[in-house]
Amino acid sequence: MFSYHCLNPIAEVGLDQFSTDYKKVEAAVTADAILVRSAAMHDMEFGRNLQAIARAGAGVNNIPLERCAKEGIVVFNTPGANANGVKELVFAGMLLASRDIVGGIEWVKSQSGETDIAKMAEKQKKAYAGTELAGKKLGVIGLGAIGVKVANAATHLGMDVYGYDPYISVQAAWNLSRSVKHIDAVEDIYKECDFITIHVPLLDSTRQMINKSAIQMMKKDVIILNFARDLLVDEQAVLDGIAAGKIRKYVSDFPNPTTAGQDGVIVIPHLGASTAEAEDNCAIMAVQEISDYMENGNITHSVNYPDCQMGICQTAGRIALLHYNRQGVIAQYTTILGDANINVSDMTNKTRGDFAYALLDIDAPVTPEVVEKLDAIEDMIRVRVVK
């Protein structure tokens, strides 16, 4: 029996995928696995039996990845599962920034009961007029699951699309429309584009990527869209740019005291992934990842351990070893198994930075004494008897 805890509401259609071997628990500290959306986990203490965390979403900046790896907790995310939901809201953001749609709607509301409203609207509407998307230059920074969808869709709206991603994956490159111009220097996006949208993860290397000097390079009346993370942008510099008449609008999906209520800023309450479809997709993928890890030891879409799959175990036993990626560890654990007369019939050992993961299918079940010896290896983080 496995236990899981949900730190945020997770779509039932996903949780329904757990077999009857799983039970939901109220206390995170007692759970084998945690499902989370945006809840901040950096200050959480983890129970010793916690083996996996699945982020039902893309961004993992709310989870202490390194600490989890050191505690033998595999962290997963659900790449691409909410990308379409975000893409659609980015276009809503572009439209809201191009014309004062919200101002217009508010005006209509304020005139409710006015019998002459149709005639008044024809006079009033010039106050809310704007510009079109077609023919404008859109710069997309980060061509991953979301960036590619935004870039491709924008070409169908007649936009001239520039894409920048020095680390683009082969899959994303395959998916990118040939109409998108591949830009090698992000500065060219800053200098050329009417709309700039950022879709990169929040990392030390991307924090405040859009800063004062980037804004200085931008065209007058640029519209900046941020559906990735607020800390990617120096938002005070953006407010200064709006006040100086350089930036026409800043659209953000991340309310905070700096931007909420400010002129020239449209802030949405983190709704990018809040669609039934995205929530269902993320929950289903997260539950599948956790189930495959808990039941088979397979890792798919981890963000702190290497991916590693050996299907369903067909031998007498399977063990999973989470260890540091250091010299001599493989020799030590295979010697312990050999000394215990346990034949390894299949194994995979994968590494990711400082961490490594091994799955071993063995011809006899391991005894508690063998587990104890494996655990005692200096660079061993966690030993799991999967079967």
Ligand X SMILES: NC(=O)C1=CN([C@@H]2O[C@H](COP(=O)(O)OP(=O)(O)OC[C@H]3O[C@@H](n4cnc5c(N)ncnc54)[C@H](O)[C@@H]3O)[C@@H](O)[C@H]2O)C=CC1
Place of tokens 């920048």: 164
Amino acid at 91: F
- Minimum distance between the CB of residue 227 and ligand AKG, rounded to whole angstroms? 8
Residues 161 and 134 sit within 8 Å (Cβ to Cβ): no
Stretch that binds ligand X, among 101-109, 135-143, 210-218, 347-355 (CB under 6 A): 135-143
Show the binding pattern over residues 364-383: x = contacts ligand AKG (CB under 6 A), - = does not: --------------------
Q: State which of positions 264-293 bind ligand AKG (CB under 6 A).
A: 270, 272-274
Which residues 6+ apart lie within 8 Å of 162 measured at CB? 137, 138, 139, 140, 180, 181, 183, 188, 189, 192, 193
Using the rule CB under 6 A, which residue among 14, 64, 139, 144 binds ligand X? 144
Chain residue whose CB lies nearest ligand AKG = 57
What phi, psi does 148 have (nearest 5°)? -65, -45
Which residues 6+ apart lie within 8 Å of 73 measured at CB? 46, 50, 51, 52, 53
DSSP string, 116-150: THHHHHHHHGGGG----STT-EEEEE--SHHHHHH
Show the binding pattern over residues 183-222: x = contacts ligand AKG (CB under 6 A), - = does not: ----------------------------------------
Stretch that binds ligand AKG, among 51-59, 304-312, 335-343, 352-360 (CB under 6 A): 51-59
CB closer to ligand AKG, 233 vs 313: 233
Using the rule CB under 6 A, which residue among 4, 69, 82, 284 binds ligand AKG? 82
- Minimum distance between the CB of residue 38 and ligand X, rounded to whole angstroms? 8
Which whole-number Å values give the CA distances from 41 to 46, 75, 264, 301, in the listed order? 9, 12, 33, 19
Q: Is 57 in the site for ligand X (CB under 6 A)?
A: yes
Tokens matching residue 204: 């030390």
The radius of gyration of the chain from alpha carbons, rounded to an integer in Å, stands at: 25
Q: Is 232 in the site for ligand AKG (CB under 6 A)?
A: no
Within 13 A of 367's CA, how many CA atoms are on the CB side?
9
Binding site for ligand AKG (CB under 6 A): 37-38, 57-59, 82, 270, 272-274
Binding site for ligand X (CB under 6 A): 57-59, 79, 82-83, 86, 141-147, 164-169, 172, 199-202, 205-206, 227-229, 253, 270, 272-273
